[in-house]
């Protein structure tokens, strides 16, 4: 499932990143930022770019203690992102803020045409609403599987659950999505 993995050169990239080489950090950021930022966006984190930047800075700070391959590295970074998400949710519960949809902020920033932007906005809105029908854990499981390209075991490591529990959450989440998609089709 790792379509955009660094591959065999991962260890060299990681060593170069530890040594402070900019190109290595650019490669790591390019590789992981879509998953990290997409996960934060899909779960409704306000200002996902800022939270994502904090996730990467946390990664830089703890990188000397990291050991493992590319799969473990991806799991580790998404674990940081998930923990940061939990913190953000806790902060929002204590101090509610008005959430501005991301697509409104990013409108026109990614070089898309107006038609493409409109279609993307509709798709994002629909996906966002459908995902809200799931429980928090079901959302996390589905998004980590789809956006993070993590296996059941890796998702279990991120969420601190057993693989069996993750499998059950995934199955129920997919069933809910299938049911909601069917109901939308009937209503339309």
Partner 1 sequence: MSDHGAYRDEMDLNELTDGELELLLSGREPQEPGNEELAEFLSEVKAVYARGPAKQTARAHVAALVEAAGRTAVQESAPTAGRGPSSKWRLGVPKRRLALLSAAVVLGILLLFAGLAAAGVNLPGVARAPFDGFGIQLPNQARADSVKGVIRSTAPDQRDCSFGQQIAGAANAGRGGPPEDPCSQQGAHGTGPGPDPDRHAGRSFGDQTSASAHHGASHETQASGEQTSQAGRGSGQAEASSSPPPEPETPTSPPPEPQAPTSPPQQPQTSTTPPQSETGRGIAEQQSQTGQAVGQAQSQAAKVNASQASGGHGP
**Which residues are at the interface with partner 1 (CB under 8 A)?**
1, 17-22, 25-26, 28-30, 33-35, 37-39, 41-42, 49, 52-53, 56-57, 60-61, 63-64, 106, 109-110, 120, 123-124, 126-127, 130-131, 142-143, 145-147, 170-172, 174-179, 181-183, 185
Q: Are the beta carbons of 153 and 163 closer than 8 angstroms?
A: yes
Q: Which is nearer to partner 1, 2 or 94 (CB)?
A: 2
Rounded CA-CA distance 47/33 in Å is 14
Rounded CA-CA distance 81/59 in Å is 10
Q: Which is nearer to partner 1, 95 or 170 (CB)?
A: 170
Tokens coding 125: 């809105």
How many helices (H) does the chain have, and how many strands (E)?
9, 0
Q: Which is nearer to partner 1, 19 or 96 (CB)?
A: 19
From the CB of 69, what's the least distance to partner 1, in Å? 20
Tokens coding 8: 């065999």
């Amino acid at each position: 499932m790792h379509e955009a993995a660094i591959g065999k050169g991962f260890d060299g990239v990681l060593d170069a990143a530890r040594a402070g080489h900019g190109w290595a950090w650019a490669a790591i950021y390019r590789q992981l930022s879509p998953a990290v930022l997409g996960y934060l966006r899909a779960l409704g984190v306000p200002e996902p770019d800022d939270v994502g930047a904090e996730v990467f800075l946390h990664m830089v700070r703890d990188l000397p203690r990291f050991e493992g391959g590319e799969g473990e590295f991806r799991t580790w970074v998404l674990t940081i992102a998930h923990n940061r998400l939990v913190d953000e949710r806790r902060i929002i519960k204590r101090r509610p803020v008005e959430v501005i949809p991301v697509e409104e902020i990013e409108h026109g920033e990614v070089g898309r045409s107006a038609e493409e932007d409109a279609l993307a906005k509709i798709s994002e809105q629909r996906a966002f609403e459908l995902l809200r029908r799931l429980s928090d854990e079901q959302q996390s499981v589905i998004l980590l599987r789809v956006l993070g390209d993590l296996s059941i075991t890796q998702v279990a490591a991120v969420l601190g659950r057993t693989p069996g529990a993750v499998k059950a959450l995934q199955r129920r989440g997919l069933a809910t999505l299938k049911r909601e998609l069917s109901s939308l089709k009937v209503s339309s």
